[in-house]
Structure 1
Amino acid sequence: MTTHDDDRLIQRVVVLLDGSRRAQLLLDEAARLAKREGAELVGLFVEDTELLRAASLPLGGEIGLVSGSLRPVAPEALERRLRQQAGRLQALLAATAGRHALRWRLEVNRDRLEAAALAATMADDLLVLYRAGWRHPPEGGFASRTLSRMLGAARCRVMMLGERVSAGAHPILVFQPPDEAGQRAMNEALRLAQATNQELLVLLPPGVERDERTRAAIEAWSARQDRRPRYLAFEGDIMALIALLQRERAGALVLPRGHALLRGVAGEHLLEASDSALIVVP
């Protein structure tokens, strides 16, 4: 695969797993990514210390999904459940990797979820999350704030998969880069569009001109793909961007880690409201 000078090849696709039924969906997409990149598939299962600590409290418990009632959970029972989940995930990971002929392994860590995910990844990794696992109820915002912190601190590329479409199914959106960080995001968008043979849609914010470096990179991509990118002037806010993603049925939006759209309330809203894949580049 042709890459740009400041790109790093992806060595591992690290997928953050839990015991839910969406694990197979997430693993299938992560396996396709690993196959495309020639990378190792690594499943990460975190035994959340905050959950374990809550179970050890006198009033600790869990709320039944159907009954809605609070029931006690003994720490020993929770430990046993976590071991069982890890076993099921290992079998699921082995079967998925086998279908795609991938190198694989499962890492089981005990820490806070955020800290474990960051500690387990390296610069050449791609960390894959499933956005639905981070959606929060209307009255709380902890999950989206946690995810925002992870995006700001991750040393590697992070991909959050949406519920509606997967990366590569529809146009790849990226902003015209105003700086080096934006250029890295553009390079990643070019690489992804080339690998998936998808359209590239470049958003032009007010006051940002097409610089020569970007023009050369896009022209080289166009020659390889035998297609031209599409340019679109964009002057809207976060709501306009979300509407654009929905209208275009975007396969992915690629942003640099420090982009304003990933910070504060705007960032949380983007994480919650968009069903397109989001790729964040350090």
Structure 2
Amino acid sequence: MAAEQTAIRRIMVALDASESSLSALHNAVDLAARLGAQLIGLYVEDINLLRLAQLPIAHEVSAFSQTLRRLDGLDLERQFRDDAARVHRAILNICAERNVPCRFEVFRGLVAAELLAAAAQADLMVVGKIGRSYSGTKRIGSITRMIVSRRTGLTLILQSGALLTILPVVLLYDGSPQARKSLAVAAHLARAPQGRLTVFVVADNRQDARRFETEVLEYLQVYELGAEFRLLVRDALAGIAQRIRLESAGPVVIPCGAQEQEGEQLCALISEISNPVLLVR
């Protein structure tokens, strides 16, 4: 199998001033510095929230005091401006420290639609896993869920506090064309100093699993990179998630097709693990 190159020159990170998205920003800057890529920060003012604020019955509940108050459109506009300014300062400061070229853009519209449209110009999109959530949930947020289901290309989903530098890198390999692209990406991530790669070979039978293992070994010889293999024959989703949790807290590279049904399955898997997840579609 010939070695494929996956060039990443533009990294777009979706930001909303939440802890999860600011954690994603730090990881995106680290990755941009490593790859020599440009960073694009994107903040979207939610048009649905602004429309909701125009309704006389619209109220909000404070996450901390549990008090009910009128949802005010002017206050919401001010909050958008303050959040965007805070995020902009964070990008400028962090990128200056790492000497990463960057730019910052603000849009107004449907959040998922605006992010998907802007991400079409990026080689890699980085998003936080849960966005603005005070409930303590670790499950995937609604905007990220839509991006996972619909975006093509490389998409990195990060939970707050997750680090791309933790090893080993885990790859799910099923022999598909997307899996071969995923192998190139995973090999690149694992080529860090003292890098390690663990490959979960996913197959319907043991014969296919061994064939896929041979494909990966032949590819990795080009990079002089070794790997450990785990053969998963007809493993259910819950079983794969459990194996990942036991194996590593490092990044998990997952090939995926274009079907929205598969996107829902990916969302379920991402919800079950705390690892950084890099989707290759």
Normalised by the shorter chain, which TM-score bucket?
0.7 to 0.9
* Structure-to-structure mapping, 1:53-132, within 5 angstroms: 53-122=51-120, 124-132=122-130
Distance in 1 of aligned mates of 2:258 and 2:200: 14
Partner of 1:165: 162
Shift, 1:257, TM fit = 2.7
Unaligned runs of 5+ in 1: none
Unaligned runs of 5+ in 2: none
Query: Is this contact kept in 1: 2:157–2:277, CA < 8 A?
Result: yes
Deviations along 1:136-188, one digit per CA (max 9) or x if unpaired, are: 9699x9x6564333123223310011345312302111123322122111111
* Structure-to-structure mapping, 1:21-36, within 5 angstroms: 21-36=19-34
Shift, 1:118, TM fit = 0.6
Name the Cα RMSD after superposition: 2.8
Deviations along 1:231-262, one digit per CA (max 9) or x if unpaired, are: 11123222222212221223111112328998
Partner of 1:253: 252
* Structure-to-structure mapping, 1:183-202, within 5 angstroms: 183-195=180-192, 197-202=194-199
TM-score by length of 2: 0.86
Kindly provide the amino acid, as one letter, of the partner of residue 179 in structure 2: G
Query: Is this contact kept in 1: 2:53–2:71, CA < 8 A?
Result: yes
Partner of 1:238: 237
Asked if 1:267 corresponds to 2:266, the answer is: yes
Partner of 1:210: 211
Distance in 2 of aligned mates of 1:88 and 1:244: 39
Distance in 2 of aligned mates of 1:233 and 1:261: 26
Deviations along 1:66-97, one digit per CA (max 9) or x if unpaired, are: 12232112212211211111111111111111
Kindly provide the amino acid, as one letter, of the partner of residue 205 in structure 1: V
Shift, 1:202, TM fit = 1.1
Deviations along 1:31-79, one digit per CA (max 9) or x if unpaired, are: 1011011011111101011111111112112210112232112212211
Q: Relative to 1, partners in 2 of residues 1:21 and 1:167: Cα closer, same or farther, differing over 3 Å?
A: closer
Query: Is this contact kept in 2: 1:167–1:252, CA < 8 A?
Result: yes
Q: Relative to 1, partners in 2 of residues 1:146 and 1:15: Cα closer, same or farther, differing over 3 Å?
A: closer
Larger relative contact order (Cα-Cα within 8 Å, sequence gap ≥ 6): 2
Distance in 1 of aligned mates of 2:88 and 2:119: 19
Q: Secondary structure at the match of 1:10?
A: coil
Kindly provide the amino acid, as one letter, of the partner of residue 163 in structure 2: S
Shift, 1:274, TM fit = 0.9
Distance in 1 of aligned mates of 2:48 and 2:260: 29
TM-score by length of 1: 0.86
Kindly provide the amino acid, as one letter, of the partner of residue 248 in structure 2: R
Query: Is this contact kept in 1: 2:201–2:232, CA < 8 A?
Result: yes
Partner of 2:13: 15
Query: Is this contact kept in 2: 1:262–1:270, CA < 8 A?
Result: no
Distance in 2 of aligned mates of 1:47 and 1:29: 23
Q: Secondary structure at the match of 2:211?
A: coil
Query: Is this contact kept in 2: 1:135–1:272, CA < 8 A?
Result: no
Distance in 2 of aligned mates of 1:171 and 1:135: 29
Query: Is this contact kept in 1: 2:174–2:202, CA < 8 A?
Result: no
Shift, 1:30, TM fit = 1.2
Equivalent pairs, count: 273
Distance in 1 of aligned mates of 2:263 and 2:102: 36
Q: Relative to 1, partners in 2 of residues 1:239 and 1:196: Cα closer, same or farther, differing over 3 Å?
A: farther
Asked if 1:177 corresponds to 2:178, the answer is: no
Kindly provide the amino acid, as one letter, of the partner of residue 104 in structure 2: L
Query: Is this contact kept in 1: 2:149–2:260, CA < 8 A?
Result: no
Distance in 2 of aligned mates of 1:128 and 1:82: 21
